[in-house]
Structure 1
């Protein structure tokens, strides 16, 4: 049994496909298939059920894959411990980040990271929260910047900041002349929402639960539209299609010709942004350096957390 074989079975379990797993491991499919068959023969168990294009894991295989992930993680930890002896910050840091934070935090974060920790380049991965949690669990990511709440996965969590929400409205909308807006006033508006899978969509629905009811006769709601990104939704708002709610960091620094951003009345809805990593991750100094780089960003209108 080798670490390479264990990596192969973890890849197949993740991809549910031998071809994609081989690509992810940078080997040919026959090489990967032969290695897995050899491991199954050595263990005298069947790890995968092969049927057409579908690959499923046997119940015993689930336990083996879970243990293989742990072994691979521990093997990587040995390398990380050795690196720490030379330079704790040496080597890339694989950082995940959700779509509604990445475009607004990363430009300044990457600049600070390059300036202060050039020996620790950031390998970045934008995705939904659910996918980032899976990638943390499988060791594909070292850490991730996400917004609470998310399922308790036994990760180490460090709070970064609380970010208030802001209403975005077309320049010609009555809201555009207001100093503040209450959440209740949004009930009668045409609301533009992010599509399913974005955690920020859920945050907006917490502010205005009425928008979770998509039936045409829902009281206080005319209709709603969905967008693929906050920037797309802002363009839709600017064109007069409705209003939306956005996080404070996404508000442009320069005034927008066709778009206005108006604060909420107290209590102001917000989200808590955190940094999460596996408890077994040994590069503590790298996590601390990343947090320092985040806190070095300007982050206007947010509340930093220690």
Structure 2
């Protein structure tokens, strides 16, 4: 059997459809089917149960797929070894970034990175954390930037920086007169949140889990952007929390409404994450060095308390 045949097997295992798998592998469906059949004949087993819709792996098929992932990864590692030996930093690199980090961090490092490593074809996707984890595990991303810790068994996390939360308090709010605020000053019932699916939303909910003070909720608003939450807060509909880097781009008239927390400041941990097989580790190291080089001047907070980005289901 060949590496290409194993790649076809992995594609069908992921997409559970021969036609879709063939499209993703850029071959015709008959070609893909024939090559997989050759593997099954060589091994004298059935990898897929074709009678089920969608197609399912057989029990032995699942074991073969697990091993095929290892084989394909190790084959890819050969190219890494050669590139590192030659000192070559180039080729395609697929990077995922969560939506609450991408607008502020990407402009800070992208120009520097592509200038320093012009032979790298950087493909960037804005994805939520759940999609990032799925794509990393299935080989569709080389690395990602996300809020951590995620505690995923097959994913390694390297911390880039700690980003404090900053409260946005409109002038008509009772806490506006305070120079700094405490977590106990927050009331989750009046905080405007990002919509479900954003890990920053879970950060805020975990931060405020014990601070439900009001008896009545007159409305509930969830948005996909910080800009909308800021405008709603300015209309007197509540307060909101922002990541520190996002506050740097606010207008001066809006910056007077920002309130930092007392120490230890609640913060999120932002990390470069990638599969533990460490494929393309020379590119990952180059990216990490570029990001930490530009961020260290923007964020100088040390005394922080990391708030989990994972949902609190207690």
TM-score (norm 1): 0.85
Change (3 A) 1:147 1:188: closer
Q: CA deviation at 1:197?
A: 2.6
The residue aligned with 1:261 is 258
Matching of residue 48 in structure 1 with residue 45 in structure 2:
no
The residue aligned with 1:196 is 196
d(CA) in 1 for partners of 2:71, 2:226: 40
Q: CA deviation at 1:4?
A: 1.6
The residue aligned with 2:221 is 225
Change (3 A) 1:278 1:170: same
Q: CA deviation at 1:201?
A: 1.7
d(CA) in 1 for partners of 2:231, 2:36: 50
User: How do residues 67-146 of structure 1 correspond to structure 2 at under 5 angstroms?
Assistant: 67-146=67-146
d(CA) in 1 for partners of 2:70, 2:138: 9
d(CA) in 2 for partners of 1:21, 1:231: 40
The residue aligned with 2:241 is 245
- Where do 4+ consecutive residues of structure 1 move more than 6 Å? none
d(CA) in 2 for partners of 1:152, 1:143: 14
TM-score (norm 2): 0.83
The residue aligned with 2:19 is 19
The residue aligned with 2:311 is none
Aligned residues: 299
1:210–1:221 contact (8 Å) kept in structure 2: no
2:189–2:214 contact (8 Å) kept in structure 1: no
Change (3 A) 1:269 1:30: same
Task: Tell me which moved more, 157-166 or 31-40.
Answer: 31-40
Gaps of 5+ in 1: none
Task: Tell me which moved more, 7-16 or 45-54.
Answer: 45-54
Matching of residue 278 in structure 1 with residue 275 in structure 2:
yes
The residue aligned with 1:300 is 298
Q: CA deviation at 1:188?
A: 6.2
Q: CA RMSD in A?
A: 2.7
Gaps of 5+ in 2: 303-314
SS for the counterpart of 1:160 is strand
Q: CA deviation at 1:205?
A: 1.0
Task: Tell me which moved more, 200-209 or 248-257.
Answer: 248-257
Q: CA deviation at 1:46?
A: 2.2
